[in-house]
Each structure stands twice: as structure tokens, then as C-alpha cells.
A and B are shown apart, each in its own frame.
Chain A
Amino acid sequence: MIPPARRLAGFIEPEVDERRIDRVWARMGPTRAGSSWRLPAFAFAAVAVAATAVLVVRGHAAAPSLAGMVVESGASQTLTLPDGTTAALKPDTRLRFDRIEATRVEATLDRGEATFDVRHSDSRTWTVHAAGFDVVDRGTRFVVAVTPEGARVRVESGSVVIARAGGSEAPRTLGPGESWASTAILDAPAAPATAQTPVPTAPPVQGVLAPAAPGTASTPTAPAVAAPPTTPGPKELLETANSARLAGRTRDAAQAFDALRTRYRSDPRAGLAAFELGRLRLDALGDPAGAVEAFGDAMALAPAAGFREDAEARRVEALDRMHDGRCRAARDAYLARYPGGLHATAVGARCP
């Protein structure tokens, strides 16, 4: 006689570390980018750059998921990387993490302004790509901004090296208090120890940062570029919500999901947005009443969706948490609809 079949998979596990996972991801090449012809050129370039990634920062589980991440800040926000480095984004800033590896981190500032406070390591370089220039950290707090006029950089402490991407010009080093805009260093303190080419030869470019005193906070004196007011569509709202959630801004994520489901109720993503909103309200925001409403809305918006069962079960959970009298009816409705459902046991134990 042989024993009855049961799950024994836990006793056969390969050795899979992040390096191995990253190697396979790198080997997948352009197919990872999917319908790349639909992407803007910069997005395709970012994916192509990331395709050569072979080593991920070790010891930080969150690091691999940041590579390829795009953060669009609606309001000011600060991102903290696993190594303690922070990137403080001004409103309407778009920052991409192209690669996060043991020996280098690369990010691209597509627009807006970000202040980087880099936790320096001799074994790792930190580079920000901005409007065709590479800004390489040398142990630094620095500000990078990208506007239609070009890139500008200001160092608050430490130093950075600036080079034109792929260019033959000699790189230049900025020290504390120095500012630079596209082709000109705007200001250099007397005899900066770190400056290699400190001679300002061109007049300040209109609309760039004014020279700043060492250690001062970043405050652009130029007026912000007036962007025409636009209403984000469902795709943009979903991107915003997902980016916000990845960045840990749960309330911003919930707001975007809520906007999607209320503004675009006929959009096929509205039901999913309502479901995600319910999850956030219940799991992260401590708002079971709001979760009940959102899960109910998800069920109404997408009654035949694959997440319908999950939404119904989570709604029972939320009602149970509120000790709401509707819980039993919701529980019985779930069990009637899904007698052998994935959550039948858990749901059946609720609302005693």
C-alpha cells in the first residue's frame, strides 16, 4: 500500500537567492518590456539599461522591486531606499529607478525636482540621469531639477561629478554650495577643494536655480513651469495609485483608486479600483466601514469579475470587524454563492 497523496512540496526546495532571480530577469531581455513599441522612448531605454542588471543590493528584500519603479509625485513626498538614502520629490516630479545593484544605483529624473541625500558607500556609485547629463554622487546631499530649459544641480554638502551622458567633455565636480545648469556652473565658492573645472564661463541660464549658500534647503527661485491643467484618466489614476502604494503612501493610493472608481464608473478598471480601495481601507487605513462600502461597490461594478468572490469575503470580514448586524446576511450570501469557495471556511467562522 502506498500512503495517501498529500502535499510534500515543502520538503523539496531549490536554492534560489536574489542573485539567481535577477540573473534570469536579466536574461529575459527585451521581452520583459512587453509591448515596447507602445512605450515612450525613455521607458524603453530604461528597460534596456536594466536588462544588463546582474546583481541586486543584498540584504534588503524591498530593493529588487524598486528597480524599474516609476514614482510620480502629486504632492511633495520622500522616498527612503533600503540603504537609508532618501529622495525628496517636489510636486509633479517623475523619478525612475533604472537599476539598483550592489555596485551601483541609477535613477532618472524625467521632470520636476528631487533632493537626494545619499548614504555614501565606496563600493557603490549613485547616479542620477537628468536631461542628458549624469550626476554622480560622491557622498552628498544634492538637488537635481529638470525643466524644459534643461537640467540644474545644486550641491548642499559633499560633492557630485557631472558628465554629459556619452559625451567626450571632461566631467566637472561640484562642491558644497555650487550650482550648475546644463552647460554652466553658476556659482563656485572661493577655491573649492573638490572643483576640477570650476570656472564659470557662461551667464546664468534663465530660469535656473539661484546660487545657494552651503547647507541651505532647496528653493528654486524660478517660477514653476506652468503646465496646462489636465484631468488624469483611468490609466493615469491606476498608475498613480500603484506607484503610491509601492512608495508606501497608502492614503494617496486610496485617493487615486477612489477617484478612478467614482469618475470613470464605466471603465473596466473601476471595479478593480474599488476592490483595491476596499483592501487598503480594511488592511492599512483602519476603516472597515469604508471598506464595506468599497467592496460592495466593487461587487456592483464588476459582478462577474474574478475578484468578486474575494470582494464578497472581504466585505464579510469588514462587517464582522464592525460587529455590524448585516454580517450574517453577507456571510450567508457568500456561502450560498460559493459553497466550496476559497474563503468558505474563514467566512463561515465569522459573525458568530
Chain B
Amino acid sequence: MVPEGLEVREEEGSNMEIHVQKKNEIELVFTISGADMSFVNAIRRVCMMEVPKMAIDDVHIIKNDSAMFDEVLAHRLGLLPLVSDSESIDGMILPEECDCEEYCPKCSVSMVLKKEGPGVVYSKDLSSEDSRIKPVYDTIPLLKLKDDQEVELEATAQLGIGMEHAKWEPTTACAYKFYPQITIGEDCQSCQKCAEACPRGVLEFDKKSEKIKVVDELNCSMCKSCFRVCESRTIDIGFDDTKFIFTIETDGSTPPEEVLIKACDVLSEKADKIIDIL
């Protein structure tokens, strides 16, 4: 891949360290040390904007007797998070890359909603032709139907990226912040005011050693409440600009680690393209 004469440097990346702090189905929190802000920001932006996921893009309304307008209903359907982990969307391609005229099984999934009133229509009432690609949550209320009202529609879900529309964003909260550095000086009076002032329980008074201790550094928002109440000016809040706390929260459609992996793939693909042109 690398053209002749082009030197490949072992980047600072070689001493980059990553520690996972918290991980569940929708949220991933990790710290990166020895990284550059521009690099971390690139990952964040790609996570939000360029990782593909499924969303309803076209709605054909056959019958809608409800009080809700067709456009509003179509918009609500578009915002539904659909399961799009790599296993479910395996083989699915972006509509731009597909050579079909309108829709084909390679680039789209069709869904049908048919319901009679009275009652609330939920996301679970949407039946998909592909058993894997369906709404993540069954309990999302879509519209309400009164007596003798009916709704019948056909929706088409396609892959897309967040750059085009927010409904294709796999992440909800995707952000990083500097790692806080809390220093407590030698002449601390142990007045405990800082521990009381902290709104996030970062500091605690240790009865044994009679000293203020940092118990939850990751939770520090660098609000400097402790700094402001400290009369002896011994506590200081700073940050390490090579260490970051990175949070990825998804809407449930894709596991957060998968979003990160796909984002890294997209980023390295872009880098490869640059090298190819050279």
C-alpha cells in the first residue's frame, strides 16, 4: 500500500494507551492517554457522522385515518432506531453503491404497518420482511387511533450516514474531555470545605489519615467549586492535554464498541485513499 520512497514513521500512537472504564449494551467509556486532540476529535466526528446504520427513508401511506398528518407520521417512523449491528446488516450496501433502479433486497428492507383502532400503535406493530432488522424498542408509541380508524402503510428502510440526516447517526452522546488532574498541596488545612463543595462527590475526607482524598477522579467536571472555597489555596484543578475520557453512547441500534471499530475502519480507509493518490 505504501509507495516507494515514502517513509512510514512509528507514530506517537505506539505509546497510546487505552483503558475501558465502563461498558454495557449502549454505553462505552474509556480513557486514551498519549493521544493528540486532533486524532481523538477525528474519531469522534467519524463515529457520529460516517458510520452507516439502518433507518426508514421512504414511507408509502395507503390509509391514515388518524388525527396525525402523514408527514408527521413518516418523520416519526424515520426516527425509529432499527437494529443495525454488523451481523444484522451483513451484506447490506449503501443505496449509492447499489446498481438497482429504486429498491432491491441488497440495499433496502421493506416494513408493513397495518392496525385498526381504537388504541395506540406501537413500534412493535411494525412488521419487517427481514426478521433481524426491526425496531430496537417495542414500546415506542407511534400514533393513536380512535374507534373505526385505520392505518396502513409500507415503509422502506435503507442504510445511511449521519452526515445526511440525524436519523442515521448511530450515537447519541459521543464526546470526550480532558482527564482532570487534581493536586492537593502540602499545607492543606483539612478543613473539609472542598469535599462539601464538590457537587459530584470527587473528594472525600479520609478519617484515618485526616487528609482529603480524591475518590472519583473520572467524575470530576472541572467546575473548580473546591478551588473557590479553599482558603489556604492548596487545591488546584488542572487537566492533562494528552489524556482523554471518551464516552460513546448509542441509540441501541449498534453496540458502542462496534461503532468505534467501524469508525476506525472508515478513518483508515480515508488514510489509505490519500496514500494511494500519492
Partners in one complex: no
Residue numbers of B with Cβ under 8 A of A are none
